[in-house]
Chains A and B, each alone.
Chain A
Amino acid sequence: ILNVEQSPQSLHVQEGDSTNFTCSFPSSNFYALHWYRWETAKSPEALFVMTLNGDEKKKGRISATLNTKEGYSYLYIKGSQPEDSATYLCARYRGSTLGRLYFGRGTQLTVWP
């Protein structure tokens, strides 16, 4: 089992605050890292798929970076809004078994108005 760890487990911020959280994973045999957002009562939604060391991706106020050599990825949210409240999941794609993702337990973000 690949240990994909996410921290913190939960986070409460005020509207307008910027925040970030971490996904760490074994750096050997890296192929790709996925980030998903899972809002309550909805389906998980893909945010980013990152494959290259040093990758930076951005979608609106959300951005992510990737360091495959040290085995971590950061997700940043600038100017958090209540609608950003969700669980953010990262998952590692190992490659040797096509399609299989290994998920972390997620970071539950709550943004208070």
Chain B
Amino acid sequence: GAGVSQSPSNKVTEKGKDVELRCDPISGHTALYWYRQSLGQGLEFLIYFQGNSAPDKSGLPSDRFSAERTGGSVSTLTIQRTQQEDSAVYLCASSPPRQGSNQPQHFGDGTRLSIL
């Protein structure tokens, strides 16, 4: 079956522009996560959606970052007024509906974002 799909795979944009990154999770997965990896850093949690519950936004680094998930499926991460420090690989992951710590996360290939 299809895995987690992210688009675009690469995005180059000028400082100050807004960008939208898209994630299409595995069908039937109710949990969706966004992470990013900046150069030389570990994977940093950004936001987590679980079904119809309020998202955990505690990892968003600033109010320039927002995310939504429509219809419990596709998610869009929006970065407004991009800065050079936003350059990173943005990864999306999903996991099945069974809650608990023993469910691995399934990752997409990521979007490599470069801010000039």
Q: Which residues of A contact B (CB under 8 A)?
A: 4, 31-32, 34, 36, 41-46, 49, 51, 89, 91, 93, 95, 97-106
Encoded as 1 (CB less than 8 Å from any A CB) or 0, chain B from 23 to 38 comes to 0000000010101000
Give min CB distance, A19 to chain B, whole Å: 21
Task: Assess whether B84 is interfacial by the CB under 8 Å rule.
Answer: no
Q: Are the C-beta atoms of A43 and B31 separated by less than 8 Å?
A: no
State the interface size on chain B (CB cutoff 8 A). 29
Among B33, B42, B43, B102, contact of A99 (Cβ-Cβ < 8 Å): B33
Task: Assess whether B56 is interfacial by the CB under 8 Å rule.
Answer: yes
Q: Are the C-beta atoms of A31 and B101 separated by less than 8 Å?
A: yes
Among A41, A95, A101, A106, contact of B105 (Cβ-Cβ < 8 Å): A101
Q: List 19 A-B contacts (CB under 8 A).
A: A42-B109, A43-B3, A43-B109, A43-B110, A44-B91, A44-B93, A46-B105, A46-B106, A51-B101, A91-B43, A97-B58, A98-B48, A99-B31, A99-B56, A103-B35, A103-B44, A103-B45, A104-B42, A105-B42
List the 4 shortest-distance A-B pairs measured between CB atoms, nearest first. Answer: A46-B104, A32-B101, A103-B43, A105-B42
**Interface of chain A: mostly helix, strand, loop or mixed:** loop
Q: Are the C-beta atoms of A98 and B91 separated by less than 8 Å?
A: no
Q: Are the C-beta atoms of B102 and A49 separated by less than 8 Å?
A: yes
Measured in the bound complex, the distance between the Cα atoms of B33 and A101 in whole Å is 10
Task: Assess whether B77 is interfacial by the CB under 8 Å rule.
Answer: no
Measured in the bound complex, the distance between the Cα atoms of B27 and A66 in whole Å is 32
Residues of chain A lying within 8 A (CB to CB) of residue B91? 43-44
Give min CB distance, A102 to chain B, whole Å: 7
Give min CB distance, A7 to chain B, whole Å: 13
Task: Assess whether B4 is interfacial by the CB under 8 Å rule.
Answer: yes
Measured in the bound complex, the distance between the Cα atoms of B106 and A34 in whole Å is 12
Residues of chain B lying within 8 A (CB to CB) of residue A89? 42-43
Other contacts beyond A32-B102, A46-B106, A103-B43: 16, CB < 8 A: A31-B101, A34-B105, A41-B109, A43-B3, A43-B108, A45-B107, A49-B101, A89-B42, A89-B43, A97-B48, A98-B50, A98-B99, A99-B50, A101-B105, A103-B35, A106-B42
